[in-house]
Amino acid sequence: MRHARAGKKLGRDSAHRKALYSNLAGALIEHGRIKTTVTKAKAVKPLAEQMITLGRRGDLHARRQATAFLRSRDVVHKLFDEVAPLFKDRPGGYTRIVKIGPRPGDAAEMAYLELVDEEFVAKEREARTPEPVAETAETAAPEASEIHLPETEPTEDPVPEEEPEPESGDGAEQGADGGDDPAADDEVQ
């Protein structure tokens, strides 16, 4: 049983997997967007967001923790000075995964793991009182007083009317339907 054993192994031993996560998170911080498989993106996303949270803290201990994971002073410097200030008001959710389809070689599902770039606007929660939804003209159901049914007069023949066939005796005119009616052909002859 795999109780309390979260995370993917990705076909690597623990040291290789740790190096992979470090390199992917560092590339994401350095470039802002990386192209990788969906499984790797899902695995590295929480780690990259944790690094951005360390960058938001900004103290010396957080810088040392980020350096221990990312192993590059240049990436840590960019994280603390450029990337983290962009997310100072955002309470999480710094990255997104955008699926882009299968890779041509082995059909592995590919995705972009990218930093969220739009500005976060905090909204206050509203009370849970349901308000009546304003209906538009297209979606509103007509009321009984608005329904206009066509007034029908009683007719003698309930069959829809067709164009009358010409009763002339010349053979030049064959009717509106092209002369496929055998009864009309008998009359013409």
Within a domain: 41: yes
153 by DSSP, 3-state: which? coil
Collect all residues with Cβ–Cβ distance below 8 Å to 120 and sequence separation of at least 6: 87, 89, 90
Compute the distance between CA of residue 183 and CA of residue 61 in angstroms, rounded to an integer: 100
Domain extent, residue 90, equals: 14-115
Query: Which pTM value belongs to this model?
Result: 0.63
Give the count of domains, the chain: 1
Tens place of pLDDT per residue across the chain (189 aa)? 879 888 899 999 999 999 999 999 999 999 999 999 999 999 999 999 999 999 999 999 999 999 999 999 999 999 999 999 999 999 999 999 999 999 999 999 999 999 998 776 777 777 777 666 666 656 655 565 566 666 666 656 556 666 666 665 555 555 555 556 555 555 555
Rounded Cα–Cα distance for residues 73 and 79 (Å): 10
CB-based contacts of 157: which residues, under 8 Å, 6+ apart?
A: none
Helix (H, G, I), strand (E, B) or coil at 39: helix
In a domain? residue 64:
yes
- Can you tell me the distance from the alpha carbon of 131 to that of 42, in angstroms, rounded to the nearest whole number? 38
Please report, for the domain that includes residue 72, its CATH number: 3.90.1030.10
Rounded to whole angstroms, how far apart are CA atoms 134 and 66? 51
Q: Could you tell me if residue 70 is inside a domain?
A: yes
Each residue of 81-131: pLDDT tens digit? 999 999 999 999 999 999 999 999 999 999 999 999 877 677 777 777 766
Identify the sign of the CA torsion 21, 69, 54, 28: negative
Q: Is position 166 within any domain?
A: no
CA nearest 9: which of 48, 37, 51, 39?
Answer: 39
Q: Is residue 47 part of a domain?
A: yes
Residue 158 within any structural domain of the chain: no
Residue 122 lies in a domain: no
